[in-house]
């Protein structure tokens, strides 16, 4: 009969592979404060959180927010800590398959008065609304966020028919597609993020049947927006500090009577954007708010009566 060596442990069933984890922020919100929870959600979106979950506690709500990398945690924590009554703690949690969560919640969304947006065409019922199909593509807009909603609502409230339009920071291309469906003679989808957006816009144009002579897309730096082309309508659904930085390049490309729609802006940051627009001789003509978010339409001096 064989003997077991004391320095060799007995065999055991294979242990499960360790589960991948991601850095998270745990944000404690006291009580049942919907306004404060909305503020937390807005700050997480602006900070680039990949997803969040709510856990009810005895004295409020614990918001757990995942981030793509450790480096993105610190600025988010600083922003959130400035909210009154909110307690922020860094931690780690098991990685979540957010795409699976997304697939479980596929719905068509009616936006504004005229649009319906969905991640698949089979989710859209035939009707009088203008359909846009935008699937989940990395971090790009699918139409589900308040900032995109407000852009589309503001576009619906102006005359787009026959115009030349530009979407700066286009991402998925949804706003360029919307402007084309509203009657723009030609729309241009512009982004400087070639690595992440290459191919996304082209696929979305194809799946929505948008002809190449109606919407074109290009990738370049802001300097490419020199005043060699005059756009009647420009949309910028990006972070407010980027909007402010790009305004000196974007505004000279506006045609006389042109309009600039700016979104992606927390309500607390709108004044800085308005001041930057006024410094470029733009006037606030229309605005929308949803939760903690604000969007505005600015017009050139030529449109003032």
The owner of tokens 């745990």 is 26
Task: Give the pLDDT confidence of 261-301 residue by residue, as tens digits.
Answer: 999 999 989 999 999 999 999 999 999 999 889 999 999 97
- Following DSSP, what letter does each residue of 245-272 receive, concatenated? HHHHHHGGGEEEEEEEEEEEEEGGGHHH
**For residue 34, what are its two tokens?**
């919907």
* Helices 174-181, 200-207: crossing angle, 10 deg rounding: 30
- Domains, the chain: 21-96 (3.30.70.260), 102-303 (3.40.50.150)
Average pLDDT over every residue of 187-214: 83
The owner of tokens 């309009």 is 259
**For residue 16, what are its two tokens?**
């499960």
Give the model's confidence band at 41: pLDDT under 50 very low, under 70 low, under 90 confident, else very high: confident
Give the model's confidence band at 10: pLDDT under 50 very low, under 70 low, under 90 confident, else very high: very low
Report whether pLDDT(139) > 50: no
Report whether pLDDT(212) > 80: yes
């Amino acid at each position: 009969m064989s003997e077991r060596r004391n320095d060799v442990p007995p065999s055991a069933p294979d242990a499960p592979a360790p589960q991948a984890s991601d850095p998270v922020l745990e944000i404690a919100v006291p009580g049942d404060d919907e306004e404060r929870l909305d503020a937390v959600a807005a700050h997480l979106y602006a900070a680039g959180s990949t997803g969040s979950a709510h856990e009810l506690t005895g004295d409020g709500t614990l918001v757990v927010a995942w981030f793509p990398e450790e480096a993105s945690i610190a600025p988010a924590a600083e922003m959130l800590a400035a909210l009154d009554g909110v307690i922020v703690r860094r931690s780690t949690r098991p990685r979540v398959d957010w795409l699976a969560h997304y697939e479980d919640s596929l719905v068509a969304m009616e936006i504004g008065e005229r649009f319906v947006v969905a991640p698949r065409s089979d989710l859209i019922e035939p009707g009088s609304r203008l359909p846009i199909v935008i699937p989940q593509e990395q971090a790009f807009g699918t139409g589900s966020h308040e900032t995109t909603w407000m852009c589309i609502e503001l576009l619906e409230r102006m005359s787009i028919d026959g115009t030349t339009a530009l979407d700066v920071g286009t991402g998925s291309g949804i706003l360029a597609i919307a402007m084309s469906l509203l009657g723009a003679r030609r729309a241009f989808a512009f982004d400087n993020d070639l690595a992440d957006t290459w191919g996304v816009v082209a696929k979305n144009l194809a799946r929505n049947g948008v002809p190449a002579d109606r919407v074109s897309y290009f990738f370049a730096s802001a300097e490419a927006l020199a005043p060699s082309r005059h756009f009647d309508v420009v949309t910028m659904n990006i972070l407010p500090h980027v909007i402010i930085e790009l305004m000196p390049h974007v505004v000279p490309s506006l045609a006389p009577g042109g309009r600039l729609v700016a979104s992606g802006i927390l309500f607390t940051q709108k004044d800085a954007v308005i001041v930057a627009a006024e410094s470029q001789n733009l006037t606030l003509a229309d605005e929308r708010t949803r939760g903690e978010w604000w969007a505005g339409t600015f017009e050139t001096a030529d449109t003032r009566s």
